[in-house]
Chains A and B, each alone.
Chain A
């Protein structure tokens, strides 16, 4: 099993719908992150969490919300999806000592029509 698992892998949804992307990890890391990838723009940080009681906004949090249900689970929600939220979404985890960098999930490809 993958260390960082994202579900679903692919999703097509309609404008205005609420959608949740889920991330779970088995690495025991405290820190979890949600990034969005668009062609030519690299990865941009949406939200990050240091533990279940610590949630922080990233560069592009507008239109998104998150929930840290447990140390191992971090969900990203789009309350009312819009077409420009069509992107590839990655969840990542890291240890307190980030000398090891981040571990990424396989990604969720989201299309909003």
Chain B
């Protein structure tokens, strides 16, 4: 059974700092997704990583995938308040369904 673990689950950081959110998963998969959720809102797709070594960047966010280590990272560069949200990673569990981590609640202090 596929397990997806994110850490940390809560992160409070200051504007301008860099930080990384980690997503580990328990079984082989080569598709991983990152989503953002603002309070009370739906999930917005950020990145789709489809192969080992995939790296994608959008603004201050960069995601990477290492399928051999079963690890994805979401790196935040020079954080700004607008990036405060909950970030979810989700992994393709086969059978056409994806399994979500518990989410990382990111709070960026001015």
Measuring CB to CB, which residues of chain B are less than 8 angstroms from any residue of chain A?
9, 31, 33, 35, 41-43, 45, 48, 50, 88, 90, 92, 95-103
- A48, A58, A98, A104: the one contacting B43 at CB < 8 Å is A104
Q: Is the CB of A31 within 8 A of B96?
A: yes
Majority-rule SS of A interface residues: strand
Residues of B within 8 A of A104 (CB): 42-43
Q: Which of A100, A101, A104, A105 has the most CB atoms of chain B within a 10 A radius of its CB?
A: A101
Q: Which of B45, B92, B96 has the most CB atoms of chain A within a 10 A radius of its CB?
A: B96
Bound CA span A50–B96, Å: 9
List 7 A-B residue pairs with CB atoms under 8 Å apart, sorted by A's residue number: A31-B96, A43-B88, A43-B100, A90-B43, A94-B96, A101-B48, A107-B41
CB-CB under 8 A for A42 and B97, given A101-B48, A107-B42: no
